[in-house]
């Protein structure tokens, strides 16, 4: 009997994109991008095999075209995902390539003019079924036919039925925005392994249960990486070939700082892992002692060290870190994993919790920055565009979406304004490219304040400051004009590097090109910083650069005196600040800014030594 694609394949069962090959059982080391320091030793919990059952749904005749369009979109997305997987095959051992390539080809063929898709479309039209229900029904019908065939090669039949079901599962996941794994039931102390983890998935991880995370996809400064660092979970991303080699239950040693994962470690590797774990714990204890000491340079310059907050669960970690306030509260968590929008009251409760927990220290709340790599579909239907366009990162992201849907911005401004009597609050606007956008946001802000006052809400006489994220080259180069409309700047180096270098921050394939120390990025930072300092306007850095102790001399040398970072980075950054002299840093920054070769800049940064810039 012929398969869906009309040929026989030697591929393994389709629902398992990994290979139980001859290498199984042996120690196997995998490299990834180090994204969150710490060491984990524990069993692998591989989440690739999650069944995807979408509830059955019927539709009206008027929805037929829309459902067919949804299906077409899911097919496109699935093709892209498989294309990415295929590209990554080239780095795997030949043996694995031979096995997986035909399988991926089979999947891609099934996304063409296949019986599965023809049948699904027909079911949408004639049976009036939602796309995911139609896909599931058609896949089951085909699988039943395959399994009923008179053929002695039963394993072969099962394999082919599995292929159809697997592609139907991929389509269903994409149609229902179901993550590619279930994070429920991860055993305590396990190392979570997945092809890809979305920021929303990462937000659901419990750092007290999960020892570590490793994925095939992802980049160092994507939101997933940020979330993992924030939660203090040791992690590596972009570890090509990982889910192909790791099997549930395998023992592993993960080193989040070194970017390595050793599967099925031998005694020597285990011993090394244990030693690294102890060393990490010792270092933590030593750094914890810095908590109460001020972040002041040797020549007495105070540097504000603040925390970035992704989810309220981080509050205790922030309290322990010695952070003086929150420099970036990403409010996306309020909108994640829910069907409806959080209203003004729900937001007020969340902001109050954070502001009160900070006990008078400043809290900078950034209004919703939806779009880009962050999962659009998690926003309730009809708010964000249902499809994210050819270039989501260049589309209706951040303030652009909020100005298009001002009621979102109004609710957020109102909730923040209402909490402003309870603590020191500032507001931050994401993804700005034009002074006019800041002006438009300020108009709305002042209108909301007037409305609240009319309703008898007491607001501080001077409204909380309205600041701007400098995270696009446009904003950086227009910083002098934007500064006239803004009360403060926060330089978002994650996006600034992405947009300047045209390199996706979350894409493993191009992660070697993503470089915040590229002279183009540094020059933009310098231009924006100087524009702010000329007006004596506060300016901070709140991208991932801020949490790297090695970069502190350069940032201080550029004139930055406020750094906001994931809470776990604060002790190390404080340690760096306390060893530095500002004049030294300024000289060092001048030397760095004279360079045009990114490699040379890396070398300088790596070799910076306190006192070396003197004289
Ligand atoms: C940034 O872009 O540097 C930033 C801090 O914002 P986010 O990482 O949330 O996009
Ligand atoms: Mg950003």
The predicted-structure confidence for 362-372, as pLDDT tens digits, reads as follows: 999 999 998 76
Which-ligand-closest: CA of 497?
A: 1
Q: Residues in the chain, how many?
A: 615
DSSP-H helix ranges across 535-597: 552-557, 570-577, 582-593
Question: Sheet holding 251-255: strands in order across?
Answer: 28-31, 260-263, 251-255, 39-46, 190-194, 210-215, 235-237, 33-36
Work out the pLDDT band at 81, boundaries 50, 70, 90. Answer: confident
Residues paired with residue 306 on neighbouring β-strands, in sequence order: 564
Q: Is 476 in the pocket of ligand 1 (CB under 6 A)?
A: no
Residue 466, SS3 per DSSP: strand
Q: What is the mean pLDDT of residues 498-524?
A: 93
For residue 399, pLDDT beyond 80: yes
| Lowest pLDDT segment from 170-184, 278-292, 368-382, 517-531 | 368-382
Higher-confidence position of 536 and 181 = 536
Q: Please state whether beta strands 363-366 and 326-330 pair in parallel, antiparallel, or not at all (unpaired).
A: parallel
The residue whose C-alpha atom lies closest to atom 6 belonging to ligand 1 is 492
Determine the Cα–Cα distance for residues 415 and 220; give it in Å rounded to an integer: 33
| Ligand 1 nearest-atom number relative to CA 542 | 5
Residue 38: pLDDT above 50? yes
The region of weakest confidence among 105-119, 252-266, 412-426 is 105-119
Residue 549's pLDDT is 95
Helices 131-148 and 154-176, axial angle in degrees (round to 10): 180
* CA–CA distance, 137 with 325 (Å, rounded to integer): 53
Higher-confidence position of 438 and 85 = 438
- β pairing state of 33-36 and 235-237: antiparallel
Cα 442 from Cα 193, distance rounded (Å): 44
Cβ-Cβ contacts under 8 Å for 206 (sequence gap 6 or more): none
As a whole number of angstroms, the longest Cα–Cα distance in the chain is: 87
DSSP label at residue 55: P
The span from the CA of 566 to the CA of 228, in Å, is 10
Mean pLDDT of the chain: 87
What are the residues whose beta carbons fall under 8 Å from the beta carbon of 288, sequence distance 6 or more?
Answer: 320, 571
The C-alpha atoms of residue 474 and residue 101 are separated, in whole angstroms, by 42
Quote the CA–CA distance of 569 and 545 in Å, as a whole number: 11
Lowest mean pLDDT among 178-182, 188-192, 332-336, 598-602: 178-182
pLDDT for 179 equals 62
Q: Which two tokens stand for residue 225?
A: 């990486």
Residue 334, helix vs strand vs coil:
helix
pLDDT at residue 6 greater than cutoff 60: no
How many CB atoms are closer than 10 A to CB 282?
10
pLDDT band at 152 (very low <50, low <70, confident <90, very high): confident
Classify burial at 27, counting beta carbons within 10 Å of its beta carbon; exposed 0-12, middle 13-18, buried 19 or more.
middle
pLDDT, residue 52, reads 61
Ion ligand 2 residue ranges (Cβ < 5 Å): 471, 492, 495
Cα-Cα end-to-end distance for the chain: 81
What is the structure's pLDDT at 431?
97
pLDDT for 612 equals 67
| Residue 26 exposed, middle or buried by CB count within 10 Å (0-12, 13-18, 19+) | exposed
pLDDT digits (tens, 9 = 90+) for 432-478: 999 999 999 999 999 999 999 999 999 999 999 999 999 999 999 99
Closest ligand to residue 494's CA: 1
CA distances (Å), 356 to each of 130, 361, 362, 444, 449, in order? 46, 9, 10, 26, 21
pLDDT classification of 2: cutoffs 50, 70, 90: very low
297 Cβ below 6 A of ligand 1 = no
With contact defined as beta carbons under 8 Å apart, do 582 and 296 qualify?
no
> How many whole angstroms from 471 Cα to the centroid of ligand 2?
6
Ligand 1 pocket, residue 543 CB under 6 Å: yes
User: Is 90 exceeded by the pLDDT of residue 23?
Assistant: no
Give the per-residue pLDDT at 19: 36
């Amino acid at each position: 009997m012929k398969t869906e694609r009309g040929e026989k394949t030697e591929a393994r069962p389709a629902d398992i994109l990994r290979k139980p090959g001859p290498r199984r059982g042996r120690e196997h080391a995998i490299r990834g991008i180090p994204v969150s320091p710490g060491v984990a030793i524990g069993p692998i919990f591989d989440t690739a095999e999650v069944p995807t059952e979408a509830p059955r749904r019927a539709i009206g005749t008027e929805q037929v075209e829309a459902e067919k369009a949804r299906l077409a979109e899911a097919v496109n997305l699935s093709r892209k995902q498989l294309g990415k997987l295929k590209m990554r095959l080239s780095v795997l051992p030949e043996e694995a390539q031979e096995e997986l390539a035909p399988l991926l080809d089979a999947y891609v063929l099934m996304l063409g003019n296949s019986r599965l898709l023809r049948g699904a479309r027909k079911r949408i039209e004639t049976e009036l079924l939602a796309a995911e229900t139609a896909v599931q029904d058609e896949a089951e019908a085909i699988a039943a036919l395959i399994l009923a065939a008179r053929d002695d090669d039963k394993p072969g039949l099962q394999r082919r039925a599995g292929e159809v079901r697997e592609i139907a599962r991929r389509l269903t996941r994409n149609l229902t925005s179901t993550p590619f794994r279930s994070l429920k039931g991860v055993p305590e102390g396990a190392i979570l392994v997945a092809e890809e983890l979305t920021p929303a998935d990462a937000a659901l991880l419990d750092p007290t249960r999960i020892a570590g995370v490793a994925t095939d996809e992802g980049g160092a400064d994507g939101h997933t990486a940020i979330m993992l660092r924030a939660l203090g979970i040791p992690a590596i991303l972009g570890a090509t070939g990982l889910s192909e080699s790791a099997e549930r239950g395998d023992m592993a040693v993960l080193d989040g700082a070194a970017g390595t994962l050793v599967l099925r470690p031998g005694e020597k590797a285990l011993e090394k892992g244990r030693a690294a774990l102890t060393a990490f714990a010792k270092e933590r204890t030593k750094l914890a002692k810095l908590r109460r000491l001020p972040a002041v340079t040797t020549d007495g310059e105070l540097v504000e060290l603040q925390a970035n907050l992704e989810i309220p669960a981080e509050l205790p970690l922030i309290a322990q870190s010695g952070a003086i306030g929150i420099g970036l509260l990403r409010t996306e968590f309020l909108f994640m994993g829910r069907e409806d929008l959080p209203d003004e009251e729900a937001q007020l409760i969340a902001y109050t919790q954070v502001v009160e927990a900070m006990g008078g220290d400043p809290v900078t709340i950034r209004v919703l920055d939806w779009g880009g790599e962050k999962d659009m579909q998690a926003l309730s239907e009809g708010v964000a565009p249902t499809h994210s366009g050819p270039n989501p990162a260049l589309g209706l992201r951040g303030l652009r979406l909020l100005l298009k849907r001002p009621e979102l911005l109004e609710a957020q401004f109102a909730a923040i304004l209402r909490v402003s009597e309870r603590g020191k609050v500032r507001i931050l606007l994401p993804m700005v490219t034009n002074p006019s956008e800041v002006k438009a946001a300020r108009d709305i802000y002042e209108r909301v304040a007037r409305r609240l006052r009319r309703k008898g809400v007491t607001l501080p006489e001077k409204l909380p400051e309205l600041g701007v994220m400098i995270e696009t080259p446009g904003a950086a180069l227009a910083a002098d004009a934007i500064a006239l409309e803004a009360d403060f700047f926060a330089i978002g180096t994650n996006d600034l590097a992405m947009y300047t270098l045209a390199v996706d921050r979350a894409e493993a394939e191009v992660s070697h090109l993503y470089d915040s120390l590229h002279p183009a990025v540094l020059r933009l930072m310098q231009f924006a910083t100087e524009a702010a300092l000329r007006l004596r306007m506060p300016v901070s850095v709140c991208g991932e650069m801020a949490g790297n102790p090695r970069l502190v001399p350069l940032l201080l040398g550029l004139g930055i005196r406020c750094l906001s970072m994931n809470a776990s980075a604060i002790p190390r950054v404080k340690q760096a600040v306390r060893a530095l002299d500002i004049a030294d840093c300024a000289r060092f920054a001048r030397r760095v800014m004279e360079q045009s070769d990114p490699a040379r800049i890396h070398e300088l940064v790596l070799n910076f030594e306190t006192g070396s810039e003197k004289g």
